[in-house]
Amino acid sequence: MPEPYPELQPVLQRHGYRPDGLIEVLNRAQELHGHLSPPLLRHIARQLKLPLSRVQGTASFYHLFRFQPPARHCCLVCTGTACHVLGAAALLAALEHEPLQERGIELGSVRCIGTCSGAPLVVVDGQVWNHQSAAGVLDGLRSLDP
Amino acid sequence: MSVCTLRIDNRDVAIAAGASVLEAARAAGAAIPTLCHLDGLSPVAACRLCLVELEGSDKLQAACVTAVADGMQVRTDSPRLREIRRSVIELLFTEGNHVCAICVANGHCELQDLAVTVGMDHSRLPYRFPDRHVDLSHPLFGLDHNRCILCSRCVRVCDEVEGAHVWDIGWRGEHCRIIAGLDEPWEAVNACTHCGKCVEVCPTGALFHKADTSEEKQGHPERLQALVHARNHQQWQP
Amino acid sequence: MSGACLRICTAASCRSRGAETLRQRCSALLESANSASATQGVAGRDVTVKGVGCLGPCSEGPLLAVDAAAGGSRLFSLGTNGQAGSAAVIEAAIKAVAADLHTAVADGDGSAVAQWSPPHSRELPADDPFLALQLRRVLAQCGRIDPAEIADALAAGAYRQLQAVLQRNDPAGVIELVRRSGLRGRGGAGYPTGLKWATVAAMPGGEKVVVCNADEGDPGAFMDRTVLEGDPHTLLEGMAIAAHAVGADRGFIYVRAEYPLAIERLRIAIAQAEQHGWLGTAIAGSDFSFHVELRVGAGAYVCGEETALIHSIEGRRGVPRPRPPYPAQRGVFGLPTLINNVETFANIPALLRLGPEAYAPGTKVFSLTGQVRRSGVLEVPMGTPLRTIVETMGGGAPAGRRIKAVQTGGPSGGCVPASALDTPVDYESLQALGTIMGSGGMVVLDDTTNMVDIAAFFMAFSREESCGKCIPCRSGTVQLEMLLRKLLSRQASELDLAQLERLCPVVSEASLCGLGQSAPRPVLSTLRHFRGDYLALLEPTPAAPPQEQNP
Ligand SMILES: Cc1cc2nc3c(=O)[nH]c(=O)nc-3n(C[C@H](O)[C@H](O)[C@H](O)COP(=O)(O)O)c2cc1C
Ligand code: SF4
Ligand code: SF4
Ligand code: SF4
Ligand code: FES
Ligand code: FES
Ligand code: FES
C-alpha cells in the first residue's frame, strides 16, 4: 500500500520523525489540508510514534488548529484591547446577527494581530480591513465571490 | 545520604535531602491536603491544595513539588491558607456536577472528604452546571465527566505505570476534559489493556467499575504504590 | 549611497493600507526610468526605492520617506488617519502617487526627486514631537534598512558587535558589560539580563540553548513585531552574542502564528545570515557555531510563559510547570536554556557599541494605541514621563474627550489614572501604582470608558487563555468574570463586590503560573483607582441573600 499523505514527508523528515516536531507538522498538515481530520491525525501519530491522545491533546490545546473543514471565506474580528476600546464588541455582535454562514463565510475573532493603529479592524481571508463599522464590513463581504 | 533539618509548624523534622516538603510534613505528622499528588506518580502541582507558607517569602509554595532545604521554616496552616483551600474546593465543586447522594464514590471520595476537612458546608460561589457527558462504551469501566476534577492522575498512571497512554487532557482552560485516543469513546482505543489502574487512582467517582452502584466505589491507590515500589526496588510481596 | 532614496514603510500596519502595492509600483517605475536613463547616458537619475520596517506613527500610514542624495530626509503621510480607506480609494491614491513620481523622475534628475512631495500627502516635520522625542537604539535601523536585504543591514553596521565579541573571545567580559548596563528583561518581568546570562553560563554541560521569546501575546502590543519585521538582523546578532556568552550552540525563535510577515522576514534573515557566515558553523572564522531554528506557535497566549514555551518547542501542550527547576537549569530538551524577549536581545548590539555607562539607563519601545490621536511605535529613554508619551507625542485623547487612564502591561497589568500621568515610565514607578511596565503595550482610555468593562475584558481574555491546568486560574477566572458581568448588568450587590475582592487574592496567590497570578491585577488596579465606576453599578436596593447549595 502506498504511504498516505506523501506531501507530509518533507516536514516529517526535516524534524527527523521526532516528537518535538509535532506542532510544526500539525501546522504544515493544516496548511495543506485546511483542517486536521482523524485519518490525518492518526497518520501523524504513527509517523512520530506518539499515542493518539497525545496528538489530539496537543492539537486541541492550540486555538489555530481546527478539526472541521473551513468555510470558503473567513472573517475574523479583532477583539484585542485597542480594537475593544474602539468598538470591536459591538462590531462582532452585529456580525453575529447576520446569516453569514449561509453565504459561506465563517465568522471568528482574534486577540490582536499587532496592527492596532487600524482599530477596530477585521481580517478577511488574510487581508486586513482597517477602521471598520458593521455596515462597512457587510458591504465588503458582499463583494466576495460566493 | 545527607539529611536536612527543618521546622514544620514548630516541630523539628530531619529528613533525607531531596525529599519534598510534603513528605517531610507527613513524617512530622502535619496534615497537608492534597488531590493531584499521588505517591508513585510524577508530581504536577495542579490542584494547589498543598500550598504552604515559607518563612521569609511572600510567595506560597506547593509542598508536593518543593524540595526541603536546611533551616527551612514551613507553616502548613494559617487563615490565609485555610481561605485558599476552601476556595479551591468551592471552585472544584462549582465547576462540575457533583451530586454526591447518587455517586458511586459517596463516602469514599477524596473530594468529598476534603470538603469536610476544609469546612466547606456550602459554596459562596454559584454553581455553573456545565453540560458534560458520560462515557459508558468500555465493557468494564465508565467515565463520568461530571465528576472529573482534572487532577490528571488517570493520565499519569496509564502513561507512567501501565505504559498505554490511553488518556490525555484535551482542549484548554474551562473547556479542558480528559480524552481517550482522538477524543473517541474509550472502547474504541485499542491501547487500553483493561488493567483498571486509572479507576483505582481516580480520587472521585469520575472513573468507576460498571459493576459498582452508588457508594460502592473504593479507590485503591495503595495497589499502585505496591506496584511501583516492587518495580523500583525489585521486591515483591506475595 | 549616492542617489536619492524613497523609503516606503511596508510593515504590517502600512501594508494593510496598500503600502506594498505602492512600493511595487514605484519600484517598477523607477527601474524602467533608471534603465532608460542608463541607455541614454543621462546621469544622475539614480533613485532607489526600498521597502522598510515601521517608521513609527502607524496611524498616519501609509508612510513614505524621501532621502536626498545630499543627506536629509522628509517624511510624508499618505494616510487618511482614522478613515476606512476602501480598496478603490487606496488604489486611486497609489495611482496618483506613482503617476506624480513618474513625472518627477521624467522631469529631472535625482535632485528633482529629492524635492518631490507626493500628491495629497502631509509632511510630518522632523520636529514633530512623535519623531523628535524618540531615542531610537533598538529601532535605530528599523525603517532605514530593507529587512529582506542583508547587504543593506551590513552596510548599516549589522553583526559588527558580534564580530568584535568573537575577536575578543571573552564571554565573561560580555556578561559583565551586560550586567553593568543594568539591562532588564523587556518581556514583562524585568529580570536583570546580566544575572540571567551569568546563571546559564555557570551551568555545567557542553550543550545549551538560547531561546528568543517572540510570542508577543499581549493584545494591543506590537513592539516585537516591529523589530521582527523591520530589523531582524539586530535580533539575530543579539542572540548570537548571547549564545557565545553563555556557551550555547543552538537557538530557537518562538514566534506567534498571527505574525505572518514577521515569520517571512525571519526566515529570509536567517537564511541570508547563514549564507554570509553570521549564523551556522564556524561563524566569522571563529570556532563558534550557532544554529537558529524558527518555531511557529499556533495561537496560545500562555505559551509566552517560559515553561509553557519550552513545552511548546518540544511539541507538547503549552502548559506551564512549577519552577524550580528554572529554564536556566532545565529548559528545552532538558538542557540549560537562556530565554529572553525580542527587545532584550535587540538591545545588545547597541549596548556593546555604546558601552554600559553611555547606554544606561537604556530605552524602552512602546506601542501606543487606543483612544489617542496618533498611534504607533515609539522608543524613548527609560523614565520618560507617561504624559510626554501619551499627550505630547500621541496628541492626547480625540477631540472633545479627556484621557481617563492609560493601561499598561496588558492582561497582567493595570491602569494608570490620568492624575498620575506625570509618573516616569520605569519598572519601580509603575509597580508603585499597582501596574507593571509589562512588555510595552500602552492603551489610552478616554472618559467614555467604563473601567469595569475594561476589567471584564481582560478577565475574559485570561479565562480564554488559561491553560486549564490549575484550578484557581481555570475556574477562578470564570467566576471572576461572572461577577464582573453581573456588575455590568447592574445586578450585583455589595456582597458580590465583596466576593470579587475576596476571590482576587485567592486566584493570584494560588495559581501556578504568571497568567493566573496576574489575571486579577486589572480588577485590583481599577478597584484601586476607579472604585466609583464599580459603586455606580451596584444595585440600589440590597439584593436577596445568595443561594446556599449543598454539594
Ligand atoms: C502568561 C505569560 C505570558 C507571557 N508572554 C510573553 C511574551 O509574549 N513575550 C515575552 O517576551 N515574554 C512573555 N512572558 C514573560 C516570559 O515568561 C519571560 O519572563 C520572558 O520571556 C523572559 O525574557 P526577558 O527576561 O528578556 O524579559 C510571559 C509571561 C507570562 C506569565
Ligand atoms: S484501564 Fe489501564 S490501560 Fe485502560 S485506560 Fe485505564 S489505566 Fe489505561
Ligand atoms: S477522571 Fe478521575 S483521575 Fe482522571 S482527571 Fe478526572 S478526577 Fe482525575
Ligand atoms: S495559572 Fe492558569 S495558565 Fe498558569 S498553569 Fe494555572 S491554569 Fe495554566
Ligand atoms: S487590538 Fe486589534 S489589532 Fe491589536
Ligand atoms: S497536591 Fe500539591 S498541588 Fe496538588
Ligand atoms: S507600520 Fe508603517 S509606520 Fe508603523
pLDDT, one tens digit per residue, over C173-217 is: 999 999 999 999 999 989 999 999 999 999 998 899 999 999 999
Q: Is the pLDDT of residue C83 over 70?
A: no
**What's the pLDDT band for C43 if we cut at 50, 70, 90?**
very low
Residue of B nearest to A36 (CA): B182
Chain A residues touching residue C378 (CB < 8 angstroms): none
Chain C residues touching residue A58 (CB < 8 angstroms): 315-317
Q: Mutate which of B58, B169, B174 to test chain C, going by most C C-beta atoms within 10 A?
A: B174
B134-178 pLDDT, tens digit per residue, is 999 999 999 999 999 999 999 999 999 999 999 999 999 999 999
pTM score:
0.95
Mean pLDDT of chain B: 94
Cα B133 to Cα B56: distance, rounded to the nearest angstrom: 46
**What's the pLDDT band for B214 if we cut at 50, 70, 90?**
confident
Distance C516 CA to ligand 1 centre (A): 14
**What mean pLDDT comes out for the span C112-123?**
84
Nearest to A109 by CA among A63, A58, A47: A63
Residue of A nearest to B166 (CA): A53
Signed CA dihedral, A44, A50, A56, A58: sign only: negative
Residue of C nearest to A130 (CA): C84
Cα-only R_g, chain A: 18
Distance A58 CA to ligand 3 centre (A): 18
Cα C166 to Cα C539: distance, rounded to the nearest angstrom: 68
- Ordered by where they begin, the domains of chain C are 4-126 (3.40.30), 150-358 (3.40.50.11540), 366-449 (3.10.20.600), 453-535 (1.20.1440.230)
For residue C324, whether the previous peptide bond is cis, meaning omega lies within 30 degrees of 0, is yes
Q: Mutate which of C474, C500, C504 to test chain B, going by most B C-beta atoms within 10 A?
A: C474
The domain ranges of chain B are 3-77, 105-232
Mean pLDDT of chain A: 95
The per-residue pLDDT for C41 is: 45
**What's the pLDDT band for B230 if we cut at 50, 70, 90?**
confident
Q: Which CATH number fits domain B105-232: 3.30.70.20, 1.10.275.10, 3.30.390.10, 3.40.50.1100?
A: 3.30.70.20
Class of domain B3-77: alpha beta
Q: How far is CA B72 from CA B13, B56, B57, B69, C318, in A?
A: 10, 9, 11, 6, 32
Task: Measure in Å the smallest separation between the Cα of A3 and chain C Cα atoms.
Answer: 24
Q: Is the pLDDT of residue C329 over 70?
A: yes
The per-residue pLDDT for C40 is: 54
> Which set of grid coordinates corresponds to residue A1?
500500500
Cα C413 to Cα C190: distance, rounded to the nearest angstrom: 13
The per-residue pLDDT for C550 is: 52
Chain B residues touching residue C502 (CB < 8 angstroms): 83
Query: To 10 degrees, what angle do helices B110-117 and B79-95 make?
Result: 140
**What mean pLDDT comes out for the span C112-125?**
85
Signed CA dihedral, C260, C58, C309, A39: sign only: negative
The per-residue pLDDT for C33 is: 74
Q: Is C541 exposed, middle or buried (0-12, 13-18, 19+ CB in 10 A)?
A: exposed
Q: Which of residues 432-491 of C touch A (CB under 8 A)?
A: 441, 443, 445, 449, 454, 457-458, 461, 464-465, 467
A10 touches chain B (CB under 8 A): no
Q: Is the pLDDT of residue C511 over 50?
A: yes
Residue of A nearest to B177 (CA): A57
3-state class of C49 per DSSP? strand
**What mean pLDDT comes out for the span B19-23?**
97
* CA B227 from centre of chain: 18
Cα A14 to Cα B226: distance, rounded to the nearest angstrom: 43
With a 6 Å cutoff on the Cβ, whether C9 touches ligand 7 is yes
Residue of C186, C213, C338 best suited for mutating to test ligand 1, as the one with most atoms within 8 Å of CB: C213
Question: Using CB atoms, which chains have 3+ pairs under 8 A with A?
Answer: B, C
